[in-house]
A = this chain, B = another copy of it.
């Protein structure tokens, strides 16, 4: 049986650069000779992808408790069908968003019960070995979304206070679990940010990158 792989999650607000950094980190791990599985939430298994459609399509309005449970139903399927098997096979898993995103968006952002979200997280029975929390200012988030061509009405209607709650929420997640999480300054050049991530992964998980 191979040595189990490691489970790394990348978290942060929209515009923080998560998907770019997930790709660059996966490339660096692969270059170091590791087998890497990249994935993202919501989604990552056939069932979870169907739930992603239901959650993000906007044609159904979910009550907030149902929205939280749907995220965890998708996550449980993703864990059982994709993440656990990959780890058991010795692969490293790099995942763009995981439970912390539900805590921050539904909990800190929308006001869902945070103790419930913590209890649901514990029920998964699998926690990341390392969570990289990408931190950027609200100005940077909004500027990057605009540069990416995201229509401003999609996030402007949430309002600046929402983005501030999200940023504060991710910082609170880091402060509550500093053994698992590292807060990374994600301002500036993506290559420089990627170097910061590699240094943290190397130090925390004992791999030469």
- B54→A66 contact, CB < 8 A: no
A90 to chain B, nearest CB (A): 21
- B62→A47 contact, CB < 8 A: yes
- B46→A60 contact, CB < 8 A: yes
A74, CB-defined interface residue at 8 Å: yes
- Expressed in whole angstroms, the Cα–Cα distance for A60 and B54 within the complex equals 15
Copies in the complex: 2
A184, CB-defined interface residue at 8 Å: no
Of B47, B69, B70, B120, which contacts A60 at CB under 8 A? B47
- B80→A76 contact, CB < 8 A: no
Question: Known: A119-B123, A123-B119. Contact between A47 and B76, CB under 8 A?
Answer: no
Of B46, B63, B79, B124, which contacts A76 at CB under 8 A? B63
Closest residue of chain B to A115, judged by CB? B123
Task: List chain A positions with a Cβ less than 8 A from chain B.
Answer: 45-48, 50-51, 54, 60-66, 68-70, 72-74, 76-77, 79-81, 116, 119-120, 123-124
